[in-house]
Amino acid sequence: MLVAALLTVCSLFSTSALAVQFCGTVAIIQMLTGPRHGSMILVNNTSCGPSGGYVCLDPDGQYMTPEKSKRLYAFILSQFITKQPIQLTIYEGTFAAACNGTYPVVEDARSP
């Protein structure tokens, strides 16, 4: 009983589990890069995150290693060029400084 109560209390204060949003299988509509945008995508699911479908790829490796960031960018670019959808999960309350705004960071991207 005490363990269940402790787990309930801990889950109330755990933001990592609450901040992850599964956006489903999405199409990449646009890729943005450069000083103003960092490295972002726009997906067709406008309810994916708080910014109408704009998602940050974390180009500077603030929330992932630079190697993982490069692999993510290469995967997203290949899916965009071949017009293939992705299954996308984001960190809803996590924003990378490189993307200049409240654009959620990718938590997971994979082929459907």
For each of the domains in the chain, give its residue range(s) and CATH number, in order of start.
20-110 (2.40.50)
Structure tokens at 23: 């956006």
pLDDT bracket for residue 18 (50, 70, 90): low
* pLDDT of 74 higher than 70: yes
Extended strands (E) in 6-73: 20-26, 28-34, 38-43, 54-56
Structure tokens at 29: 């509509």
CA distance 83 to 53: 17
- Percent share of the chain, pLDDT over 90: 64
Q: What is the mean pLDDT of the chain?
A: 86
What's the pLDDT at 93?
86
pLDDT bracket for residue 38 (50, 70, 90): confident
* pLDDT of 29 higher than 50: yes
